[in-house]
Each structure stands twice: as structure tokens, then as C-alpha cells.
Structure 1
Amino acid sequence: MKNIFLIIILITTQSIFAASYNKPSASKLYKEAVELVKKEQFESAIKKLTKYTKKKPKDSDGWTLLAFSNRKISEFDKAKEFYEKAIAIDENNKTALEYQGEFFAQIGEMEKAKENLEKLLSLCPNSCKEYEMLKDYISGKAKKS
């Protein structure tokens, strides 16, 4: 039963990731970075995303993906900075709020993680995938990404 639940979480996480960053009009550089993240080639993705965010400094999703990639290689100071930039650009970026919440939980700042969860609940009072994913992450039900 645990294996089935884990498989469902992994499939859902991959689908959410793909949906969150699927921009029909995205640049080639951005699309390449997304593909690198999907392959877990985070260092290479960071190089592309650094270039991308210099070209598109107002793209909250670019900063979110750069933060996520840095978090995955344990560059927590950079991840924190980039999540903050993403949310400063778009305070209602649900993906940024979810991933930043996971980051807070990962580094042991559970109160901040719960604040992000509350913000997500206010953005989607009938629930949404980002709220559910962060809730599961905080409770330990989801695979730690």
C-alpha cells in the first residue's frame, strides 16, 4: 500500500511540476532549463536560469525555478533569496509559495511553512494542488522533494 501511495505522489508531483512551468510562449532558454530540472540536472539548470532571470527579471516563475534548483543542491541561502524575489514579483504565485513552504519545512522553519500553507488556503479556499502538496509535505505524507 505504501508503494502505491508513493507512486501516486511521484506521478502527481511530476504532473504538477510540468503544469506549473509549462509556458506555451516560453523562450528556448527557459524550456531548456525546465527540461534540465525534470532530468534533475540542477547545476546546468541553474546556469540557464541565471541567464534567463537576467533577461526576464520580472518573471516570477523563472525565479521560482531557480530557487527550487538551488534548494535541490542544498544552496539554501540562494534558494531563500530567489524564493523571496519570486514572491516579491507575484505574491500570489502559488507554486512559489508551495515550494518556499517546502524549503521552510526542509530547514526546520515549520512556522513559516505553515504561514505559506495559510496563504495558499486564502488563495484557494476550496483547496488547490499547491495547498494539498504543501500540506502533505509538512505532514510527512509526500516524498520530500
Structure 2
Amino acid sequence: MMKLIWTAAFIISLGTTSLAVGSSDYSSPTVGVLQAANQFLKQKRYADAYQILQSIVGAPEDDRQNLLGFSARKQGEFEIAGRHYEQALALNPRHLGALEYQGELFLELGQMENAKNNLSKIIQYCSSSCAEANTLRKAIAKASQ
């Protein structure tokens, strides 16, 4: 655990600016923790990202739940991931990232119709050309082959 904290502190000190959660209206400490979690996600260190995301205070809860779901799904923890996506969408039914990632979870579970329903919602909320729609559309096409 201590090694993880030191690693996160190091990543925060690098000043990474890429966030995968959609908003930048976070307090500075929260931004740093989100940056560390985002860096772990990019490095496919999903367990580390999950652990950090559990400790975040001050970030929008829908974003946090979405990233917790992503981290859990990438570790093969589909039931846990599903609960996080449901929580994110209960807080914000129009959360495009959660709809996309939940759609990808549905595909991994063989639930094609649910994935298509999520794609329809994304298109309804943003358009057929937004990034989340394009990503989920490609995943559906690949799963249909």
C-alpha cells in the first residue's frame, strides 16, 4: 500500500493533465489523485487505479463510479463493474462514458441487445458521431462478427 501511495505521489508530481472523467472543476488534491488513477488506467494497472479511485473525495460521484466500473471490468470483475456503472447512471442517466463502458460490459456478458440499447441512448444524448457512440458502435460490430 505504501508503495502505491508513493507511486501515486510521483505521478501527481509529473503534472499529467489528461483526465478521462469529463470535468475539470475539481479541487487541486482531487485533480492530482484523478491524474494518478488515470495514469494507472493508461498503464493497465487496473487494481492500482481501483484502489486509488476508492479513496477519492471531492470528485463528481458519477465520474468516480464510472472509472471504478471500468477498473473492475478490466480486472474481470463483471458483477462489481456492473454495480458501479448502475450507480453512475443512477446519479447521471446521461453519463456518456458510463453508458459506453456499461455497453462494453454487456458485450462481454453476451448481452447484445442491452449494448445496443446503450448505444441508442448515447446517440439520443449526444449524436451518432460522438466518441462514445463511435467506440461502442465499433465494439458492437466486432462482437457481431
Q: What are the Cα deviations for residues 75-109 of structure 1, in whole angstroms up to 9, with x where unaligned? A: 01100000001111111111110111011011101
Structure possessing the higher relative contact order (Cα contacts under 8 Å, 6 or more residues apart): 1
Q: Which amino acid aligns with 2:52?
A: K
Q: What are the Cα deviations for residues 85-134 of structure 1, in whole angstroms up to 9, with x where unaligned? A: 11111111111101110110111011110110110111123531111110
What stretches of structure 2 of length at least 5 have no aligned partner? 1-17
TM-score w.r.t. length of structure 1: 0.76
CA root-mean-square deviation = 1.9
Match of 1:130 among 129, 132, 144: 132
CA–CA separation in structure 1 for the residues paired with 2:108 and 2:66:
16
CA–CA separation in structure 2 for the residues paired with 1:77 and 1:40:
20
Cα distance, 1:36 vs. partner?
Answer: 0.7
CA–CA separation in structure 2 for the residues paired with 1:105 and 1:76:
11
Q: Which residue of 1 aligns with 2:24?
A: 24
CA–CA separation in structure 2 for the residues paired with 1:95 and 1:116:
11
Distance 1:70 1:49, change over 3 A: same
Q: How many residue pairs were aligned?
A: 122
Q: Which amino acid aligns with 2:24?
A: P
The answer to whether the aligner puts 1:42 opposite 2:69 as a matched pair is no
Distance 1:22 1:95, change over 3 A: closer
Match of 1:116 among 112, 118, 130: 118
1:65-104 correspondence runs (5 A): 65-104=67-106
What stretches of structure 1 of length at least 5 have no aligned partner? 1-17
Cα distance, 1:29 vs. partner?
Answer: 1.7
Any idea what SS the aligned residue of 2:102 has?
Answer: helix
TM-score w.r.t. length of structure 2: 0.76
Cα distance, 1:50 vs. partner?
Answer: 1.0
